[in-house]
């Protein structure tokens, strides 16, 4: 279990990162994409909860640490080039996006315009000022 060969098989970018897609294990909906470094991926595997690397805050980000919207990880996959991770998750609270929506992908292209087609389930104020 201390063997980290599997982490070496990931094609980390020059910045030491890899994008990770979080997909709802039950519905198949793609909820978000965030970044992981080596430590984040290792922790995700160990905890079976998604841990990302926040590029803006430059630190590890245990998803849900503030919002409570933890992502329980059911499966971890790697693509053929080794440069994208796909997580099958259970989204606690049913909200992955910081805007209070289920998914970050709520804007749909309609006749040359991005239209916000998904509803806000909980206001960000309510989520983050607990």
Burial of 90 (0-12, 13-18, 19+ CB in 10 A): middle
The only residue of 17, 40, 70, 97 in contact with a copy of itself, by rule CB under 8 A: 97
Element (DSSP H or E) covering residue 46: helix 38-47
125 annotated ligand binder: no
Provide, rounded to whole angstroms, the least separation between the CB of residue 3 and a copy of itself.
6
Provide, rounded to whole angstroms, the least separation between the CB of residue 26 and a copy of itself.
10
Measured CA to CA, the distance from residue 113 to residue 5 in angstroms comes to 45
The 10 Å Cβ neighbour count of residue 1 is 5
Does residue 128 belong to the site contacting a copy of itself (CB under 8 A)?
no
The only residue of 11, 114, 123, 128 in contact with a copy of itself, by rule CB under 8 A: 114
CB nearer to a copy of itself: give 66 or 75.
75
């Amino acid at each position: 279990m201390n063997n980290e060969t599997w982490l070496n098989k990931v094609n980390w970018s020059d910045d030491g990162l890899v994008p990770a897609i979080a997909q709802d294990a039950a519905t198949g909906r793609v909820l978000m994409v965030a970044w992981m470094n080596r430590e984040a991926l290792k922790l995700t595997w160990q905890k079976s909860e998604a841990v990302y690397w926040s590029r803006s805050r430059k630190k590890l980000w245990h998803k849900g640490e503030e919002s409570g919207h933890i992502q329980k990880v059911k499966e971890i996959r790697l693509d053929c080039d080794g440069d994208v991770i796909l997580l099958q998750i259970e989204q606690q609270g049913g909200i992955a996006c910081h805007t209070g929506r289920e998914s970050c992908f709520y804007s749909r292209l309609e006749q040359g315009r991005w239209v916000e087609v998904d509803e806000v389930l909980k206001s960000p104020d309510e989520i983050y000022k607990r």
